[in-house]
Amino acid sequence: MVTIAKIVTSIGLFAFCLRGIEFKELARLLVGANVPYLIAGAALVLFETVLGAYRFKLLFDPFARLKLTSHVYQYFAAGYFNLFLPSSIGGDALRVIWLAKAAVSPSTAFSLVVIERVMGVCSLVLLSVLAQCWFELPRTIELFVTLAVVLTVLSLLAVALAYRYWRPRPINIRWVNDAVATLGLVLRDPKRILVVFVASVLYQIITVGITYVVVLAFSLPVHWLAVFALVPLVWFATFLPISVGGLGVREASFIFLFATIGISQEAAMIMSIGTYAIFVWAGIVGGVWFTATQARPGKAP
């Protein structure tokens, strides 16, 4: 029933977004696409996926050594399943399972993936805040960003306090103790954390930059700073597990946020669909790789 509800939510939100669309204008924008830019976006998302895998390998290496190709495979395969699973991070659950089978306990794998995601969220918040330093947004959007900053800081403080409380007082819950131990080992190497965070920031720059490539490909009247200020908020919305692959939520977020700076629904929809199409391309690559690997038992990277 939950899955059906998410499918209905996705379809309903997407249909709602189409209500105010002028399809002639949408078609005009699509026909005028600059193909080289789209090819550049397709190449960029592949590089981004490899970078994400490398970032996670840096985080994972103190616990177990896996080849970079193993992490790259997991990232691409997870991207494939993200197309169908709830929210835009559903593939992370599969990565936890694969990591647990390969090298570490499920609780350690889960903790590391969560730490990676937390760094990603912090990176998105940082990009949005920095972009707003040079690009003026409506007061409502500024409040959204402020709320995102506050929630991020409070979450980090909660984790820090929980770690300080539980570390000297182990309790009879194994996954909690494992999570605390995992976080402790990560925190012992500040230089590694810094490198991982820098890689995370670069990863998110590329993620948001892919949308700007779409803006260039369709000659949309959107400033690059607006993209870097608003698109991180779109990705926050897609984290909510209320749709399938973020479908519907992503389009509604693009239309709502960019309407606040005077961008038409058609242009916002093009940004959303174009961005999604590029990530679908990476998902297809992951799906082909995953299928080929499953067809050859024992040959997984």
User: Which residue, among 183, 151, 152, has the nearest Cα to 165 in the 3D structure?
Assistant: 183
- Whether 108 is in a domain gets the answer yes
Q: What are the helix (H) ranges across the chain?
A: 2-18, 23-31, 35-60, 68-82, 91-102, 106-132, 139-166, 174-187, 190-217, 224-238, 249-259, 265-294
Q: Is the pLDDT of residue 299 over 60?
A: no
Residue 251 counted as domain residue: yes
3-state SS assignment for residue 115: helix
Q: Is residue 69 part of a domain?
A: yes
Task: Determine the pLDDT at residue 76.
Answer: 94
Instruction: State the pLDDT confidence band at 172, using cuts at 50, 70 and 90.
Output: low
pLDDT score of 174 more than 90: no
Mean local confidence (pLDDT), 122-148: 85
294 inside domain:
no
Nearest-angstrom CA–CA distance, 102 and 275: 33
Count structural domains, the chain: 1
Q: What angle do CA 157, 186, 153 make, to 5 degrees?
A: 20
In angstroms, what CA-CA distances link 238 with 14, 143, 245, 254, 272?
13, 19, 8, 11, 12
What SS3 state is found at 86?
strand
Residue 72 to residue 56: CA distance in whole angstroms: 9
Q: What is the pLDDT of residue 171?
A: 62
**Given the structure tokens 């993209």, which residue do they identify?**
227
Give the type of residue at 290: F
- Whether 147 shows a pLDDT value over 90: the answer reads no
- Domain membership of residue 27 (yes or no) is no
Q: Is residue 100 part of a domain?
A: yes
Could you say which DSSP state residue 135 is in? S
Does residue 150 lie in a domain region? yes
Contact, 235 vs 76, CB < 8 A? no
pTM, entire model: 0.90
Domain ranges, residue 203: 33-287
What is residue 37's predicted lDDT score, i.e. its pLDDT?
95
Is 22 a domain residue? no
Question: Rounded to an integer, what distance in angstroms lies between the CA atom of residue 287 and that of residue 293?
Answer: 10
- Amino acid (1-letter code) at residue 222: V
- pLDDT at position 44 is 96
Residue matched to tokens 């699973």? 85
> Cβ–Cβ contacts within 10 Å for residue 131, how many?
22
Q: How far is it, in rounded angstroms, from Cα 50 to Cα 203? A: 10
**What pLDDT score was predicted for residue 145?**
82
